[in-house]
Chain A
Amino acid sequence: GIQVEQSPPDLILQEGANSTLRCNFSDSVNNLQWFHQNPWGQLINLFYIPSGTKQNGRLSATTVATERYSLLYISSSQTTDSGVYFCVQEIQGAQKLVFGQGTRLTINP
């Protein structure tokens, strides 16, 4: 089945730093999505990005479908960026999502 691998598993940074999170996937990309799970467990949609680049404020994402990876960039990190970031793919036609293991980001003041 589809494998979604994320790196690094953990990342600890000071406020104001920039970070890059990576997602590799084993099959052709279908409906790739980045989620943020905040420290209270809430899941928040960040980007739907099966290909190309999108930006939303301090966050941006790029997916290179031909090379089967996606990157999430966070600039000028804030403590509210802390949490776990998940890369998720959909098994097309099966209504099923495959989650990566996540990257736990901790931003210290």
Chain B
Amino acid sequence: NAGVTQTPKFRVLKTGQSMTLLCAQDMNHEYMYWYRQDPGMGLRLIHYSVGEGTTAKGEVPDGYNVSRLKKQNFLLGLESAAPSQTSVYFCASRETGTTIYEQYFGPGTRLTVT
């Protein structure tokens, strides 16, 4: 049982490049989330999904797209990276009807856009 995994762990992009971050969970959770954490701040919600095939916008969705084609995977895409997207990205998952105590976080992906 690996929990929540994220790929890659680190990435450096040039402005304008695109990339996809992969989040995978093996706990059969319905809900999945993408957050970003900027220096000295807490996490802010980018997008989330309440089930396979569904996505919804969070607090800071601009510049990102997501897809949930399979229940276990939640992809975060940056179509044209900007330096303002330099951040640490965390994925999380949780089962329906559970509290936030039962939200499991991945280890994070550190992205730098130059």
Chain A positions within 8 Å of B, measured between CB atoms, are 4, 31, 33, 41-43, 45, 47-48, 86, 88, 90, 95-97, 99-102
Which B residues fall within an 8 A CB radius of A?
A: 31, 33, 40-45, 48, 50, 58-59, 88, 90, 99-101, 103, 105, 107-108, 110
Knowing A48-B101, A88-B100, say if A96 contacts B108 (CB, 8 Å).
Answer: no
Q: Which residue of A lies closest to B58 (CB)?
A: A96
13 sample A-B contacts, Cβ–Cβ < 8 Å, listed by A number = A4-B42, A31-B100, A33-B101, A47-B101, A48-B99, A48-B101, A86-B43, A90-B100, A95-B48, A101-B40, A101-B42, A102-B40, A102-B41
How far apart sit A94 and B33, CA to CA, in the bound complex (Å)?
A: 12
* Complex-state Cα separation, A45 to B59, whole angstroms: 22
- Looking at chain A's contact residues, the main secondary structure is strand
Known: A33-B101, A47-B101, A48-B101. 15 other contacts (CB 8 A): A31-B100, A41-B108, A42-B105, A43-B105, A88-B42, A88-B100, A90-B99, A95-B31, A95-B33, A95-B48, A95-B50, A97-B43, A99-B41, A101-B40, A102-B42
Closest to A86 in B: B42
